[in-house]
Structure 1
Amino acid sequence: MTAMPDVSRGEAVVAALVAELGEKTVLSGAERPARNASDWSTLGPQAPLAVIRPATTEAVAAAMRICARHGVPVVPQGGLTGLCGGARPLPGSVALSLERMTGIEAIDPASATMTVRAGTPLQVVQEAADAAGFLVPLDLGARGSCAIGGNASTNAGGNRVIRYGMTREMILGLEVVLPDGSVVTNLNRMIKNNAGYDLKHLFIGSEGTLGIITRLVLRLFPKPACTFAALCALPDYASVVGLLTAARRGLGPMLSAFEVMWPDYWETVSSMPGVRVPLAQGHAAYCLIEAQGTDEAFDGPRFEAWLEAQTEAGLLADAVLSRSVADVKAFWGVRDACSEFPQVLGTHESFDIGLPVAGMDDYVRACKAALGQRLPGITALFYGHIGDGNLHIVAGVKGAHPQPKDVIQEVVYGLVREFGGTVSAEHGIGLTKKPWLGHVRSEAEIALMRRLKAALDPDGMLNPGKVLPGKDLPGKTLPSEILPGDAV
């Protein structure tokens, strides 16, 4: 059910926001940008009462105080590249976009840190680190559009988690605006700092439901001097697990990515224009291995010798080794071809799940069989960051409008629960996954999440209706949207 917005309250809060922040910061009516009505999810647009575009932390705090006083909820927005509806406005809400809060404030070479404003695109952060001789290892396909604050609020993963960890491991300090408008600033630049609770972890991965991240201190890493890659064909999934174990042992800290693609994925991208596929079809699995080193003359031969040893051990049916940076990019082009699936496959459902690595192929087989039984003729492709237990699924019935989403989700998430996985590995919960949160989180865990929400946001004003199934706060009616199948 959807609560009807209070028109007079909406008009009052917009007037108060304009009076405090100005018409250039607060856009309402016909001035509201269409892009702020949704994110990259398939939920469709929902126009907010107004779009606030503050340029300072103080303006964010002022906006929160005004909205809290009028009882109007606020939905934080970064680059709007989320896939789960976490940044999509709700009826009767105000959208607070951090798009103007951009820029690198400081790079400290001695402590290897960067202080950056939350609305800064990830690619800008990467390029600034590179120019200073460092690396920000977080990397994902939406790098040119996603904002670093949004990456933190969803605890983004990306391609190199196996070496550097999730976004959480790259953050030393945060500045956060709480739901009541108070500001907590802890721009810590020290790796070792055990002075009380490490409060930043409350907000990293909380999807804007507990506070609005406005500034961050990021750890910087040494910039690799060289990068190598190999595309491998494997005879079975046991060889995939064996190769991953060998890569961890033999390559050590050089190992930066371990991506696996199942045969249906490989066959699909092989037919796509502009994608160079250097290995033949017909193998049980395909793996992209990337290693980053500090000395090309030493690490290059080391990587090649390691790959030859795996062939001799019988783990590889075929392999091709990069000989240039262009080869590395071309290999990644095979893995990143999934971004073109909407044009190739038409409408479909996409999934981001996590599973224990050893049982991942068993899950794939069970999922393909169950989907085929429930929906004959369905296309289901499997691929992902297997080195960190993250599997992506693309599934759709060709020509079906709309897609049988409920059936597909029931199969995919039902088997996730059966195999002891997670419904979200790196994209968050937002709106679309909250009906399934109970599949992978216990009642006690969800109850604790509710207690944290109630403690930090007792009036339920910050991104209500997201993440937690049903109502955010027991007994409280919020202008939230409850999805079909959600328990109120």
Structure 2
Amino acid sequence: MTDRGEAAFIEELHAALGAAVFTGEDIPARFHNDWSGLPPVRPVALIRPRETAEVAIALQIASRHGITIVPQGGLTGLAGGAQPVAGGAVLSLDRMSGIEEIDPVMASMTVKAGTPLEVAQKAAEEAGLFLGLDLGARGSCQIGGNLATNAGGNRVIRYGMAREHVLGLEVVLPDGTVVTSLNKLIKNNAGYDLKQLFIGSEGTLGIITRVVLRLQAKPLTVNTIFCGCQDFPAVLELLKGARARLGPALSAFEVMWPSFYDFMTANLSELRRPLGRSHGIYVLLEQSGFDPEVDSGRMEAVMGEMLEAGVVEDAVLASSDRETRDLWAVRDSVSEYGKLMGPLTAFDVGLPTSCMAEVVAAIEAEYQARWPGAILLVYGHIGDSNLHLVANVPAAGAHQPHDEITDLVLGAVRAAGGTVSAEHGIGLLKKKYLHFTRSDAELELMKRLKAALDPADILNTGKVLAL
């Protein structure tokens, strides 16, 4: 696109959308990159619509001029899915925020896509209901971005991935067509389930503008316990025991290797170490239920059995909301990496749980052999086979060996039959590794879908697929 072409695009945007359009130095720096660590890119224009019709107008104009549009939500993604591209514009949903309706009978909530997750959670709670989706970035991530990446988070073991919380969508296609399907029915088998095309597509097929979320009954009790175990086999025994005894009441099972637990608690003064001594591995369990007279005793009984059997070496049960927050603060401290580490190479992978310890050990050994003394933090939502690794080589400074680290980690994941992305998408950073997880036939079908819905390749050009 020539400068003249960009000028014509911007001129038409200004004429149609006025104060919703920003250019040049007027584009705030926060819109120049997402949380992936990629170098900032200033887009040719920033569009901040307030309603779906303005999104449609922006895409119609971009389509006419052949300009890429990169959708942005809360910018908390780690794969570069919301990263601006050179010569392209950015469309932020941050002004399209708010709860439109809560239907207590249908147990649903209709929200605008730019609504922060935490806002939606609080609105559901105030209505006496519960939104099961939960992420550490809840205060800044947005519903539209959660769906575009099919986010997972802390409670997938009970409530499922983001797509499990969606009843209906409104989406704008690359040519500006608005498809409104704000379904509230749990059972609706009338033709193709079109919403599933856009959930997890990372803004490459359409821009989500409004959502109908499925809500749950609000738990009357929540019990949280922090455990220390000797090793990963003990963690697997604890997981099996908790599933068997707690059933669907088990709502979180978070595991932290000592690399993560020791590093974060040593470097963040506000974190309290829940246990008195060190252990081989740590587990945070959450049980949520509806029987205040029974639930706490059930959790204590399970922990008593695990302690007696030697599966758990030590445990602390939160006895107040404050203690619960303190226990979760250790796991949620991932948002503080920027204060503690330099440039990161972060991974969000899925692995068969049974072989997870062996894969982690092999990665750690090879990582330290190549970069002695480098940092590798390991933790994850192990109840749903999701593992996170965060790497930094201090000696490399700003010139981190990202490619070499990625080849090492994702090569091990591929060999173990895992997935290169469990809940953060593919974006830019994992695009060349997608074939580690998907077959040629699957990749070809993805390309056919992209070509059918976005033949001019306007939306999030260059993301996810190598076209």
Instruction: Indicate the TM-score class for this superposition, using the shorter chain for normalisation.
Output: over 0.9
SS in 1 for 2:296: helix
Candidates 20, 37, 44, aligned match of 1:42 = 37
Alignment of 1:362-377 (within 5 A): 362-377=358-373
Candidates 450, 453, 462, aligned match of 2:459 = 462
- Equivalent residue, structure 2, for 1:330: 326
CA distance in 2, matches of 1:396, 1:94: 31
Matched residue type, 1:168:
R
Deviations 1:426-465 (A, max 9, x none): 1111111111111111111111110000010011111110
- Equivalent residue, structure 2, for 1:483: none
SS in 1 for 2:31: helix
Query: Aligned pair 1:235/2:230, yes or no?
Result: yes
SS in 1 for 2:39: coil
Deviations 1:337-393 (A, max 9, x none): 233233233333221111011010011111011111222222212111000111111
- Equivalent residue, structure 2, for 1:222: 217
Q: How many residues were matched structurally?
A: 465
Higher mean C-alpha deviation, range 229-238 or range 337-346: 337-346
- Equivalent residue, structure 2, for 1:484: none
SS in 1 for 2:394: coil
Deviations 1:275-328 (A, max 9, x none): 111224442211111111212222111111111112222211111111111111
Q: CA 1:71 to 1:269, structure 2 compared with 1: closer, same or farther past 3 Å?
A: closer
Shift of 1:181: 0.7
Shift of 1:166: 0.5
Shift of 1:399: 3.4
- Equivalent residue, structure 1, for 2:405: 408
- Equivalent residue, structure 1, for 2:162: 167
SS in 2 for 1:231: strand
Query: Aligned pair 1:275/2:271, yes or no?
Result: yes
CA distance in 2, matches of 1:192, 1:318: 45
CA distance in 2, matches of 1:269, 1:207: 31
Contact in 2 for aligned 1:106/1:116 (Cα 8 Å): yes
- Equivalent residue, structure 2, for 1:315: 311
CA distance in 2, matches of 1:68, 1:113: 34
- Equivalent residue, structure 1, for 2:23: 28
CA distance in 2, matches of 1:123, 1:290: 19
Query: Aligned pair 1:6/2:2, yes or no?
Result: yes
**How high is the TM-score relative to the length of structure 1?**
0.93
- Equivalent residue, structure 1, for 2:239: 244
Alignment of 1:278-357 (within 5 A): 278-357=274-353
Query: Aligned pair 1:266/2:254, yes or no?
Result: no
- Equivalent residue, structure 1, for 2:148: 153
Q: CA 1:91 to 1:364, structure 2 compared with 1: closer, same or farther past 3 Å?
A: same
Contact in 2 for aligned 1:266/1:281 (Cα 8 Å): no
Contact in 1 for aligned 2:96/2:114 (Cα 8 Å): yes
**How high is the TM-score relative to the length of structure 2?**
0.97
CA distance in 2, matches of 1:171, 1:419: 31
- Equivalent residue, structure 1, for 2:56: 61
Deviations 1:76-106 (A, max 9, x none): 1111222211111111111111111111111
Q: CA 1:17 to 1:422, structure 2 compared with 1: closer, same or farther past 3 Å?
A: same
SS in 2 for 1:174: strand
Q: CA 1:35 to 1:338, structure 2 compared with 1: closer, same or farther past 3 Å?
A: closer
CA distance in 1, matches of 2:66, 2:272: 55
Shift of 1:266: 2.4
Matched residue type, 2:390:
V
Q: CA 1:348 to 1:82, structure 2 compared with 1: closer, same or farther past 3 Å?
A: closer
SS in 2 for 1:49: coil
Contact in 1 for aligned 2:252/2:284 (Cα 8 Å): yes
CA distance in 1, matches of 2:423, 2:333: 19
Contact in 1 for aligned 2:57/2:176 (Cα 8 Å): yes
Shift of 1:267: 2.1
Deviations 1:188-237 (A, max 9, x none): 00101111110000000000000000100000111111211111111221
SS in 1 for 2:294: helix
Matched residue type, 1:422:
T
CA distance in 2, matches of 1:269, 1:99: 31
Contact in 1 for aligned 2:137/2:335 (Cα 8 Å): no
SS in 2 for 1:207: coil
- Equivalent residue, structure 2, for 1:139: 134
Contact in 2 for aligned 1:152/1:205 (Cα 8 Å): yes
Q: CA 1:35 to 1:269, structure 2 compared with 1: closer, same or farther past 3 Å?
A: closer
Higher mean C-alpha deviation, range 217-226 or range 332-341: 332-341
Higher mean C-alpha deviation, range 313-322 or range 407-416: 313-322
Query: Aligned pair 1:391/2:387, yes or no?
Result: yes
- Equivalent residue, structure 2, for 1:419: 416
- Equivalent residue, structure 2, for 1:195: 190
- Equivalent residue, structure 1, for 2:14: 18
Contact in 1 for aligned 2:70/2:89 (Cα 8 Å): yes
SS in 2 for 1:175: strand
CA distance in 1, matches of 2:101, 2:31: 29
SS in 2 for 1:95: strand
In percent, how many aligned pairs have the same letter? Answer: 55
RMSD value, Cα: 1.3
Contact in 2 for aligned 1:263/1:281 (Cα 8 Å): no
Matched residue type, 1:428:
G
CA distance in 1, matches of 2:324, 2:261: 17
Shift of 1:40: 1.3
CA distance in 2, matches of 1:277, 1:256: 23
Matched residue type, 1:467:
V
Higher mean C-alpha deviation, range 100-109 or range 203-212: 100-109
CA distance in 2, matches of 1:443, 1:347: 33
